[in-house]
Amino acid sequence: MTFVQLIECRTSRLDEMNRLMDDWVAQTKGRRAAAHALVGKDRSDASHIVEVVEFPSYEEAMRNSNLPETDTVFQGILALCDEMPTFTDLDVVRDEWLAEETVRRFFAALTAPDELPPFNDLLDEDIHTHDPINPQDTLGLDNVRAEYRMWRAAFDLTFTIEDLLTQGGRACARWTAHATHKGDFLGIAATGRKVAMTGTTMFRFGDDGKITEIWWQDDMLGLMQQLGALDELEK
C-alpha cells in the first residue's frame, strides 16, 4: 500500500533547508526510497512549510528512515526550524490521477462511434495542436474538431494506450492505433486495407484541468507505406 508522510515545520531559512535537502538527495542517490516529494509554502504564513513525501510502502519509508544520512539531515533541519517539526503518517486509501483520466477520456472520445463529441469538456476553447502532417499548427477548438473529423472519415480508428506518464501540468501517452482505411486520406482513395500506426502524444493542461496544447508524433511514413502510397517510389 502506498504510504505518505506529511511533515510540517516553521522556518525563516527555507533556502538553507533546500540546499540541505539537495545535499541529502545527492548523498543517498540510488538508495533513497521516496517515489515523490513535494514542498509547499503556506500562502498566509510564509514560515509555515509543508512537505509531502510518497513511498511505495510503509516498509520502504522505514528503510529510508534508517539510512545514516537521514539522521544527519534531520539534525540539520532541526537546527533550521523555529520549532519541532510534526509528522503525520498516512496510508493512501484513494489515489486519483486526474490528468491521466482526462487523456484516456480524450482518446475514447476521439474514436467514439456516431457523431464526434464536442470535446468542450476536455479541450480548451483556444486549444493549440502541433502535428508534423500539417504545415501549420491548428488553433482553436472548431479547427481541431474539423481535423479530427477528417481522420475519422478516412479511418475507423481504435487506440491502445501502451504507456501513460504524467508530471506537473503535462502528460505523455505512447499508443498503437489500428484502423481500416475507409475514405479519402491526403488524396489516397479508400483502399479497405487494415493498417497500424504507433506514436506518442504530449499534452499540456491549463489551470482548469482542460487540455490546452497537444503535440503529435507518429509513424506517418509507415502508414503511407501500408496504404500503398510509396509503391511507385520503391520500384
Per residue of the chain (235 residues), give pLDDT as tens.
Answer: 789 999 999 999 999 999 988 888 888 877 878 888 899 999 999 999 999 999 989 999 898 888 888 888 889 889 999 999 999 999 988 877 789 999 999 999 999 998 899 999 999 999 999 998 888 999 999 999 999 999 999 999 999 999 999 988 899 999 999 999 999 999 999 999 999 999 999 999 998 899 999 999 999 999 999 999 877 555 4
Let me know if the fold of 3-91 is the same as that of 98-234: no
What does the radius of gyration of the chain's CA atoms come to, in whole angstroms? 25
Whole-angstrom Cα distance, residue 85 to residue 91? 20
510518497: which residue's cell? Answer: 54
For 172, the grid coordinates are: 505523455
What CATH number labels 98-234? 3.10.450.50
> What is the residue extent of each domain of the chain?
3-91, 98-234
Other C-beta atoms closer than 10 Å to the C-beta of 203 total: 22
What CATH number labels 3-91? 3.30.70.100
Helix axes 14-27, 68-80, angle to 10 degrees: 170
For 89, the grid coordinates are: 503518517
Whole-angstrom Cα distance, residue 166 to residue 79? 36
